[in-house]
């Protein structure tokens, strides 16, 4: 008798050999609200891809399932050939997925350098007792961690004189840079960026866009981006997935997505709704 596995069961192996991540039918429900509705999604290895959509479309919720912060209510997620559906965030980090957050999550009273050193703890071998006793091998490991954090901060373009500053005293753009450095310090294969240019001026956004390409080209990283700035999205993405009310309404290259009537409608609809809201507030 044949013991061959049907092709459709080979999630994350042969069926999606050129995808570093693939998600099938992923769902998330909050109370009665379907925040992410049966989304199929994949990221080609070495690609730069984006998820866009109006506010509340489910973009961050989708990220939270990819990184293990939320447990999906349905569907499967595979990363680099491993099923990571509802896997613990620290395990997913160890497998090679790192992220930044929509709302910056740095330790404000820690320096830029310390924040990045924390990001490497997933890779550190020293146990609690070794750290407390400051055994020689632990000191050596700490020195290596510090050196790597310094190098990574330099790589993301933080001015060297700022690395010992308390991170809450730094500019928004610099804090975003530190967050990216912290994510990179865990040696990811896949980097997820949730609205990295939010609050940046056009010049900073352009610099970050160039930096994403550099990360991919020099370090071979795969990048998934959530972004509202259409100039950034259209300029850097090879593939764009559009969510609206949790549903994938379109997918394709920038030209295809820009011309898709459903996308135009989703965005126009939300802009009109916002304008009406603003008007109502003005009258209230």
- CB-CB contact of 12 with 83 (8 Å): yes
Out of 47, 58, 72, 75, the residue judged to bind ligand ATP by CB under 6 A: 58
- Asked if 76 and 23 count as a contact pair (C-beta separation under 8 A), the reply is yes
Nearest distance, CB of residue 29 and ligand ATP, angstroms? 9
What DSSP line would sit under 205-251, residue for residue?
Answer: HHHHHHHHHHHHHHH--EEEEE---HHHHHHH-SEEEEEETTEEEEE
**Which of 256, 262, 195 lies closest to 229, judged by CA?**
195
For residues 230, 232, 238, 244, the Cα torsion angle rounded to the nearest 10 degrees is -40
Site size with Mg ion, rule: CB under 5 A? 3
* 59-78: contacts with ligand ATP (CB under 6 A): 59-61
Report the nearest approach of ligand ATP to the CB of residue 193 (Å): 13
Partners of residue 242 on adjacent β-strands: 52, 250
111 binds Mg ion (CB under 5 A): no
CB-wise, 49 or 170, nearer to ligand ATP?
49
**Residue 116 to residues 90, 176, 180: CA-CA distances in angstroms?**
16, 12, 9
Nearer to ligand ATP, 57 or 236 (CB): 57
Part in contact with Mg ion (CB under 5 A); list of ranges 18-26, 27-35, 39-47, 101-109: 101-109
x/- site string to ligand ATP, residues 215 to 234, per CB under 6 A? Answer: --------------------
- Selected from 43, 57, 84, 225, the binder of ligand ATP by CB under 6 A is 57
Residues in 138-157 at the binding interface with Mg ion, rule: CB under 5 A: none
Alpha-carbon distances of 222 from 51, 184, 214, 264, rounded to whole Å: 14, 12, 11, 28
Q: Which stretch binds ligand ATP (CB under 6 A): 7-15, 37-45, 49-57, 118-126?
A: 49-57
Candidates 53, 96, 173, 196: give the one binding ligand ATP (CB under 6 A).
53
Q: If binding is defined by CB under 5 A, does position 222 make contact with Mg ion?
A: no
CB contact at 8 A, 52 and 239: no
Sheet holding 190-194, edge to edge: 97-99, 190-194, 222-226, 48-52, 239-244, 247-252
Nearer to Mg ion, 52 or 156 (CB): 52
- 173 alpha-carbon distance from chain centroid: 17
36 close to 53: Cβ distance less than 8 angstroms:
no
Closer of 53 and 72 to ligand ATP (Cβ): 53
| 55 in contact with ligand ATP (CB under 6 A) | yes
Footprint of ligand ATP on 15-34 (CB under 6 A): 30, 33
Judged by beta carbon, residue 102 or residue 131, the one nearer ligand ATP is 102
**Contact residues for ligand ATP, defined by CB under 6 A:** 30, 33, 35, 53, 55-61, 102
């Amino acid at each position: 008798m044949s013991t061959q596995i049907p092709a459709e069961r080979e999630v994350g192996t042969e069926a999606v050999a050129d995808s570093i991540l693939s998600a099938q039918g992923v769902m998330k429900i909050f109370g009665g609200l379907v925040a992410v509705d049966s989304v199929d999604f994949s990221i080609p290895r070495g690609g730069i891809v984006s998820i866009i959509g109006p506010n509340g479309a489910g973009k961050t919720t989708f990220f939270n399932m990819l990184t293990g912060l939320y447990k999906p209510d349905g569907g499967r997620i595979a990363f680099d050939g491993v099923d990571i559906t509802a896997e613990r965030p620290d395990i997913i980090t160890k497998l090679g997925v790192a992220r930044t957050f929509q709302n910056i999550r740095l330790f404000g009273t820690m320096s830029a350098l310390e924040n990045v050193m924390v990001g490497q703890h997933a890779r550190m071998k020293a146990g609690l007792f070794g750290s407390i006793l400051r055994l020689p091998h632990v000191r050596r490991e700490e020195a290596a961690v510090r050196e790597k954090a310094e190098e990574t901060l330099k790589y993301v373009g933080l001015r060297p004189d700022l690395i010992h500053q308390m991170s809450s005293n730094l500019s928004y753009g610099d804090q975003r840079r530190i967050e990216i450095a912290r994510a990179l310090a865990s040696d990811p294969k896949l980097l997820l960026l949730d609205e990295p240019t939010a609050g940046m001026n056009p010049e900073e956004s352009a610099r970050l866009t160039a930096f994403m390409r550099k990360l991919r080209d020099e370090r071979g990283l795969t990048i998934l981006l959530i972004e509202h700035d259409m100039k950034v999205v259209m300029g850097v993405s090879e593939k764009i997935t559009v969510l609206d009310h949790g549903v994938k309404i379109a997918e394709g290259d920038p030209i295809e997505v820009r011309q898709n009537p459903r996308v135009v409608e989703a965005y126009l609809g939300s802009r009109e709704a916002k304008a009406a809201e603003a008007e109502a507030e003005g009258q209230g």
